[in-house]
Amino acid sequence: MVLDLFAGCGGMALGFESVGFETIGYEMLGDACDTYSSNLCGECHQVFLEPGMDLGPDADVIIGGPPCQPFSVGGKQGGKGDRRDGFPAFISAVEMYQPRLAMFENVRGMLYRNKNYFHSIVTELMALGYVVEHKLIRAVEHGVPQKRERLFVVAHRGEWRFPKKLGREYFTAGDAIGDIAFATNEDSKFLTKSMDVYVAKYEKKSQCVRPRDLHLDRPSRTVTCRNLNGATGDMLRVKLPDGRRKRLTVREGARLQSFPDWFRFSGSVGSQFNQIGNAVPPLLARELAKSVMEYLNKSPILTTNEIQKLNQPKQPLLF
């Protein structure tokens, strides 16, 4: 059983289910829970996670995406002092359930201003008897048509191997949405003239060499809640042959995140965009889940001494 904390709409869980894991989600937002429960085999419980909570069944694996806002370079990077910090609840669950493996995902901003806090999280997991390894993973190297890069941290007690990058050319935005990108209908949203002016100014000010429209011949920029939702200069959009700029639809955003078309999101368009932007791309999650399955099936369980030895020269932080 996989307990999926801060589960969102289930991007990570979809990858895990696709290789045969059973998952249970825990998430505070109703729309995200609804999306999870109506698309996945596992159920998502609507709860506000706090340290010390009894989550029910035993777990071989705990996965989670504690909120990234406290660490995002686009925000204040309050880290531990931010009331949205989910790590106390995550670590508490690992302590209570003692899973064979725990994994969390976050933004690389955790390694900057909050590197000391990151280090203390790693130390706490080590103190619970785990070998802890981290890696920045580029989604594009795992079949996702997007330049997303995220930090993955794995606490384990055996021989863990991060997934190898897939040995093939990257998928492009065109591979994912080429058949629908230029389609318009009465629901299509376009940038207004004043937004076009704003975009032009933004590009000039930020010394943007190439326009930030989606280029179908290469992977997309990172899909985030902000650039799907917000009327900002860096929002994701397609430039149509007639010069108009079309904002991405929910389905286009979902495809760039590698969600299959049968996966339907609940809630308002804004809520759906948030669920998509927050998710771990399911194709990347699938590669991670394969590694977890291999670890559970094959890896010998190490002794405490062996674990301490492996943790000895602490994996250096990147910065």
Ligand X SMILES: C[S@@+](CC[C@H](N)C(=O)[O-])C[C@H]1O[C@@H](n2cnc3c(N)ncnc32)[C@H](O)[C@@H]1O
- Tokens 């002092």 correspond to what residue? 81
Q: Give the CA dihedral 53, 55, 56, 58, nearest 10 degrees.
A: -110
Q: Is there binding between residue 9 and ligand X (CB under 6 A)?
A: yes
Rounded Cα distance, 246 and 234, in Å = 13
CB of 6 to ligand X, least distance (A): 3
List Cβ neighbours of 234 (8 Å cut-off, separation of 6 or more): 202, 212, 221, 226, 227
List strand residue ranges (DSSP E) for the chain, in order. Answer: 2-5, 23-27, 44-46, 61-64, 101-106, 131-138, 149-156, 237-239, 245-247
Stretch that binds ligand X, among 186-194, 208-216, 276-284, 309-317 (CB under 6 A): 276-284
Q: Specify the residue, 29 or 199, whose C-beta has the smaller distance to ligand X.
A: 29
DSSP string over 71-93: T-TTS---GGGSTT--HHHHHHH
CB of 275 to ligand X, least distance (A): 7
CA 169 to chain centre: 22
CB of 93 to ligand X, least distance (A): 11
CB of 309 to ligand X, least distance (A): 32
Q: Is there binding between residue 65 and ligand X (CB under 6 A)?
A: yes
Q: Which of 280, 283, 284, 289 binds ligand X (CB under 6 A)?
A: 280
Q: Is there binding between residue 104 and ligand X (CB under 6 A)?
A: no
- The DSSP element (H or E) to which 274 belongs, if any, is helix 269-278
Q: Are 146 and 223 in contact (CB under 8 A)?
A: yes
The three-point CA angle 106-112-113 to 5° equals 110
Q: Which of 2, 24, 29, 302 binds ligand X (CB under 6 A)?
A: 29
CB of 9 to ligand X, least distance (A): 5
Q: Specify the residue, 12 or 111, whose C-beta has the smaller distance to ligand X.
A: 12
Q: Specify the residue, 266 or 278, whose C-beta has the smaller distance to ligand X.
A: 278
Rounded Cα distance, 67 and 305, in Å = 33
Q: Is there binding between residue 292 and ligand X (CB under 6 A)?
A: no
Stretch that binds ligand X, among 142-150, 170-178, 257-265, 275-283 (CB under 6 A): 275-283
Q: Which of 41, 68, 208, 225 is catalytic?
A: 68
Q: Is there binding between residue 10 and ligand X (CB under 6 A)?
A: yes
Q: Is there binding between residue 25 and ligand X (CB under 6 A)?
A: no
CB of 90 to ligand X, least distance (A): 10
Q: Is there binding between residue 42 and ligand X (CB under 6 A)?
A: no
Tokens of 306: 């062996």
Q: Which of 3, 11, 24, 224 binds ligand X (CB under 6 A)?
A: 11
Stretch that binds ligand X, among 63-71, 95-103, 167-175, 240-248 (CB under 6 A): 63-71
Residue closest to ligand X when measured from CB atoms: 8
Helical pair 269-278 and 30-39, crossing angle rounded to 10 deg: 70
Q: Is there binding between residue 68 and ligand X (CB under 6 A)?
A: yes
Burial 266-283 (b: 16+ CB within 10 A, else e): bbeeebbbbbbbbbbbbb
Catalytic (active site) residue 68: yes
Closest CA to 3 of 41, 46, 57: 57
Q: Specify the residue, 8 or 163, whose C-beta has the smaller distance to ligand X.
A: 8
List Cβ neighbours of 301 (8 Å cut-off, separation of 6 or more): 100, 157, 158
What is the contact surface with ligand X in residues (CB under 6 A)? 6-12, 27-29, 32, 48-49, 65, 67-68, 86, 278-280
Active site residues: 68
